[in-house]
Amino acid sequence: MRLTRYFLPVLKETPSEAQIVSHRLMLRAGMIKQASAGIYSWLPLGYKVLRNVERIVHEEQQRAGHIPMLMPTLQSADLWRESGRYDAYGPEMLRIRDRHERDLLYGPTNEEMITDIFRSHVSSYRDLPMTLYHIQWKFRDEIRPRFGVMRGREFLMKDGYNFDVDYESAIHAYNRHMVSYLRTYERMGLQAIPMRADSGPIGGDDTHEFLVLADTGESEVFYDAAITDLKFGDRKVDYDNRDECAEIVKEWTTPYARTDETHDEAIFNQVPEERRRTSRGIEVGQIFYFGTKYSEPMGATVVNREGQHVPVHMGSHGIGVSRLLGAIIEASHDDNGIIWPEGVTPFHCGIVNLKQGDAEADRACEQLYDALTAKGLEPLYDDREERAGAKFATMDLIGLPWRITVGPRGLKNGVVELTSRKTGESEELSPEVAVARVAEIYGK
């Protein structure tokens, strides 16, 4: 993409409404624009990152054998009356009435709807286990939205629902989700720690929240430093293997890690003092096993091997997709702007032409652009008639992990400069080698 043909409304000054760094940077980098309290438009740059995060979630869900689908944002109130949550949910649920005076609601979650779909079409244990998920906009009418996309009213969320014939199978689904979530967050360059949590209004027996450590987090968290040393890495997982998934879950849930809701001082004090940590965390996902909480009242049963009708065991599993952008920025930025992890970056690298209009520099940039594109990479070429300083400042602000700087001085010696946004380290390389290096970084 050429910057002169793109829409990137960066702000030099910080809008006064933004309090925390991720919100400020998302506004300044031209990623989002507030449409109303807690509701945002996703401008091109923000949209690209949102789609990247979404793509990773899709890939990892499907790797775990979960099936994508899409449910609507608007739901009939009747379903919610059936589960009893229409009254229980309270004013956070946005209620709407259509022209026929029918009660609708903008879905804050989809347990009722998915249960309805399930009971309409599935009746035998032979069809189980099954996990369906979707990534869809949700609405919760927070009393006080804040922190940009970290706590908006409208938000994009992946929610998945498992259906299993018995407890053991459902627990495997729970474990499978935990493993897939660990992979998902790590691919986004995040360390998200699973913490034993409170089940909240959704209800349930077993639940973990995934938290990204950050000063601006809304939850106070207590953990054993040992857990931050765990890395998922390239390990291959057979998601159908119950023991293997259970083993990984055990590994990640053994060190103490809890939010303030479930924190137990007595147990925490058994952690060696030098490893005890107290911090704040941003919740970016949660997994629940809730058994037959919805299947029972809504009549979602299957016939088991013995020929009996039994309510299915369910769980639900969420990832806050739009919120993750805020969390990633909170965890990865500096004074000059965002530092995107390579897994989610909106463009693979930037090309800065220091002297737009200089025949040599222009040609070198075009060649770099074509060569990178031919490798399957997406560069952002700053071809504006701007001073070098302005171009550098823009690149730093929008956080592309790699920058290739092209100027007449370097070209005289046959080199361009490849700079890491994260470390600031630069290397002078021939254009060909620079392209090869970037391609190698992204495995292209």
Partner RNA sequence: CGGGGCGUAGCGCAGCCUGGUAGCGCGUCGGUUUUGGGUACCGAAGGUCGUGAGUUCGAAUCUCGCCGCCCCGACCA
Figure out which of the listed residues 318, 341, 343, 379 binds RNA, where binding follows CB under 7 A: 318
Figure out which of the listed residues 17, 247, 334, 440 binds RNA, where binding follows CB under 7 A: 17
* From 117-125, 147-155, 161-169, 266-274, span contacting RNA (CB under 7 A): 147-155
* From 54-62, 80-88, 279-287, 343-351, span contacting RNA (CB under 7 A): 279-287
| Closest approach of RNA to the CB of residue 342, in Å | 19
Torsion of CA 337, 339, 344, 346, to 10 degrees: 50
388 binds RNA (CB under 7 A): yes
Q: Residues 6 or more apart from 137 whose CB is under 8 A from it?
A: 73, 154, 155, 156, 157
C-alpha 154/C-alpha 176 separation (Å) is 28
Figure out which of the listed residues 129, 315, 320, 341 binds RNA, where binding follows CB under 7 A: 320
Cα 297 to Cα 9, 34, 39, 79, 119: the distances in Å are 51, 40, 34, 11, 12
Nearer to RNA, 311 or 337 (CB): 337
Q: Residue 18: what are its φ and ψ, rounded to 5°?
A: -90, 125
CB atoms < 10 A from the CB of 261, how many?
A: 14
Figure out which of the listed residues 397, 418, 438, 439 binds RNA, where binding follows CB under 7 A: 397
Residue 253 exposed, middle or buried by CB count within 10 Å (0-12, 13-18, 19+): middle
Q: What is the DSSP string of 204-233?
A: -SEEEEEEEE-TT-SEEEEEEGGGGG---T
Local structure of 253: helix, strand or coil: helix
* From 97-105, 126-134, 181-189, 405-413, span contacting RNA (CB under 7 A): 405-413
Local structure of 164: helix, strand or coil: strand
| Closest approach of RNA to the CB of residue 302, in Å | 29
DSSP letter at 49 equals: H
Which neighbouring-strand residues pair with 221? Answer: 259, 279
Figure out which of the listed residues 15, 84, 272, 299 binds RNA, where binding follows CB under 7 A: 15
Tell me, by CB under 7 A, how many residues bind RNA: 60
C-alpha 294/C-alpha 299 separation (Å) is 8
433 binds RNA (CB under 7 A): no
C-beta separation of 327 from 382 below 8 A: no
| Closest approach of RNA to the CB of residue 54, in Å | 14
Figure out which of the listed residues 181, 392, 402, 442 binds RNA, where binding follows CB under 7 A: 392
* From 29-37, 68-76, 176-184, 338-346, span contacting RNA (CB under 7 A): 29-37
13 binds RNA (CB under 7 A): yes
Residue with tokens 């009708």: 309
Q: Residues 6 or more apart from 208 whose CB is under 8 A from it?
A: 178, 194, 195, 196, 197, 253, 286, 287
Which neighbouring-strand residues pair with 95? Answer: 105
| Closest approach of RNA to the CB of residue 286, in Å | 5
408 binds RNA (CB under 7 A): yes
* Contact letters for RNA, residues 185-204 (x by CB under 7 A): ---------------xxx--
Figure out which of the listed residues 82, 142, 244, 296 binds RNA, where binding follows CB under 7 A: 142
Figure out which of the listed residues 182, 190, 338, 354 binds RNA, where binding follows CB under 7 A: 354
250 binds RNA (CB under 7 A): no
Binding site residues, RNA, CB under 7 A: 10-17, 19, 34, 36-38, 140, 142-147, 150-153, 155, 157, 200-202, 209, 218, 283, 285-286, 318, 320, 322-323, 336, 354-355, 357, 387-390, 392-394, 396-397, 405, 407-411, 417, 419, 424
